[in-house]
Each structure stands twice: as structure tokens, then as C-alpha cells.
Amino acid sequence: MRRVVLLVIIALLGISAGHSSPPAADWAINATAIEACSCPHFCMCYFNPHPAGHHEHGKTEHYCKFNNAYKVNEGHYGSTSLAGSKFWVTGDLGGDFSQGQMDWALVTFDKATTPEQRQALGEILGHVFPVKWKSFQTTEGNIDWTADKDQAHAAINGAKTAEVKLKRFQGMTDDPAVLKNVKYWGTPRNDGFVMMPNELETYREGPKAFEFKGTNGFMLTFDMTSKDVSGNKTSMGY
């Protein structure tokens, strides 16, 4: 068991360093994100190397504090199935990520995931998020994840640890408003950013706790395989 935990840690360290090496196994992932952050809707980080400015305590600070809750629709890593697994990334991109250096991130694996799934997801996430983090940690929790075309809700430990509530942006019709042809981190394919500003996005534990209401939110499904990996080193869409 200790050996499996060590392998998970080694794989996840790739997220902190930023992957550029060939994958160790054949893998594929199709996952849907319930995502929210502190930026105004729509998050400018997808078009700029720095986040929005926030006026606090008499000065302006730039940060993007986020909660990204993921559910894997289909996927595998070698013989390990990833379908149905859930994980969550909480963090802050910091004030300037033009060099691919982010501030901090915490990855929470759903308690239902096996050690093998966590190891596999750790390897894959290094390619999905090919960036460096000043601080990077992992933990586990009970993740709830539900969504339809009008709203989405995700929580860790019954919302005691973290929570995201999204509500569909009302466009000209009742169809979702979708932003197309924008890159999502290191992934090569996505079905578009479904505009869903948040009613709440919060992380409630420790000195880095935060809470925002009415800021950026969206849903998105991305697709990526080991065949897509070719030393991707840039982040987001800039």
C-alpha cells in the first residue's frame, strides 16, 4: 500500500513540474468540469497572462481563486478504468502566469477512487495542466457532482470543505450560451464553454479559504488521449 501511495505522489509531482515526457501507458480521458473562479464572467485568464484585479484593503490585487470539479465520463489508463471517477482542483493562479508559473493548487480525489485510479489521474493531470505550481498538495474527500442544462452543483464533504453552484446564463433562447474555439489548458479538444455564472464558489478550510458570489462559472467537457501528448508546456489559451 505504501508503494502505491508513493507512486501516486511521484505521478502528481508531474503536475507541479509540468509534463513534457512521453506517457508511460496508453490512456484516454473524457471529463466534464463544473468550474468557477473569482474573475468576472467570463474569466479573462483564458485570453490574458494575468487575472482580473480585485480591490481589497485599499489596494488592487490580481488573482484567480478557483474551484474545478470534474467527473470522468469515459477513460482508462492502461487496464485501469477511470469512468465515473471524480476529482477536484482548488487553487489560485496568482497575479502573473505569463511564464507558466501558478501560485497554489490542491487536488482532492473522491474517496471512492482506488489507488490505481489516483495514480492514473495524477499522470494524466500533468498533461491536462502542463504548468508549475509554487505550492501543490493532494487530499481526499467525498465529492458530490450533479448538473443539467440549467444548473450545476458540486461539493466536497457535504459542502463543509468546498462548494460550487452554477446557474445557466440566459441567452436569447432557452438553449445554452456556448463559447467555442477557445483552448482549455493543455487539452486539444473541448465541446465549448457553457456560460453558467456562479451563485457561489467557496473553499472553506484553512488560511487560504475564500468565497465569491456572482463571478465566473461554466461547464465544459474536454477530451484527451496519450496520442495527443507532444511536450505540451503552455497553459490556458494565451
Residue 237 inside a domain? The answer is no
Residue 236 inside a domain? The answer is no
Rounded to two decimals, what is the model's pTM?
0.87
Residue 234 inside a domain? The answer is no
Q: Residue 16 pLDDT > 60, yes or no?
A: no
The amino acid occupying position 210 is F
Query: Mind listing the pLDDT tens digit for each residue in 42-77?
Result: 999 999 888 988 777 677 788 999 999 999 999 999
In the chain, how many domains are there?
Answer: 1
Q: Residue 12 pLDDT > 80, yes or no?
A: no
The predicted model gives 20-25 an average pLDDT of 59
The amino acid occupying position 166 is L
Residue 114 inside a domain? The answer is yes
Q: Residue 8 pLDDT > 50, yes or no?
A: no
Residue 235 inside a domain? The answer is no
Query: Mind listing the pLDDT tens digit for each residue in 210-236?
Result: 999 999 999 999 999 999 996 544 433
pLDDT of residue 2: 36
pLDDT of residue 23: 53
Residue 233 inside a domain? The answer is no
Query: Mind listing the pLDDT tens digit for each residue in 128-177?
Result: 999 999 999 999 999 999 999 999 999 999 999 999 999 999 999 999 99
Residues of the domain holding 157: 2-228
Query: Mind listing the pLDDT tens digit for each residue in 168-187?
Result: 999 999 999 999 999 999 99
Residue 30 inside a domain? The answer is yes
pLDDT of residue 4: 37
The predicted model gives 21-50 an average pLDDT of 90
